Amino acid sequence: MTKGLLHHIEIYVSDIKRTIHFWSWFLEELGYTPFQDWEKGRSWKIGDTYIVFVQAEERFLDVPYHRCRVGLNHLAFYASSRQHVDEMTNKLKDRGLNILYPNQHPFAGGKNHYAVYFEDPDRIKVELVAPDS
């Protein structure tokens, strides 16, 4: 195992069914495979790294997630190419998902940063970036 390689990320969510519906197609498009599945959670794996989503307990749902608070700002994934970013952008739009920073897309991260930004059901920002960015 490579020292320092990310092992896994675990994210608590407000509605696990809605989260699974959102993330399953996206992660599987990127080559992740279903890994673990239980009543209150699901994970997907690529290589030795996996992402876990877990239903938050009712008592912790009073304050919704916001990426500008202390904690996670966003998750960024590599696309295979700029064309892949474009294809996934079209798939996101076909699914009715809102593309963030539409007036700057696909260069919202800067003139040499080719990416699409969008949000998951809990408004966690997600970025899909071309490898040459």
Q: What is the pLDDT along the chain (133 residues), one digit of tens a residue?
A: 678 889 999 999 999 999 999 999 999 999 999 999 999 999 999 999 999 999 999 999 999 899 998 899 999 999 999 999 999 999 999 999 999 999 999 999 998 999 999 999 999 999 999 998 7
- pTM over cut 0.85: yes
CB of 15 closer than 8 Å to CB of 40: no
| DSSP string for residues in 34-47 | EEEEETTEEEEEET
Say if residues 131 and 86 touch (Cβ distance below 8 Å).
no
Structural domains present in the chain = 8-56 (3.10.180.10), 66-133 (3.10.180.10)
Residue among 104, 70, 84 nearest 30 (CA): 84
Q: What amino acid is encoded at 118 in this protein?
A: F
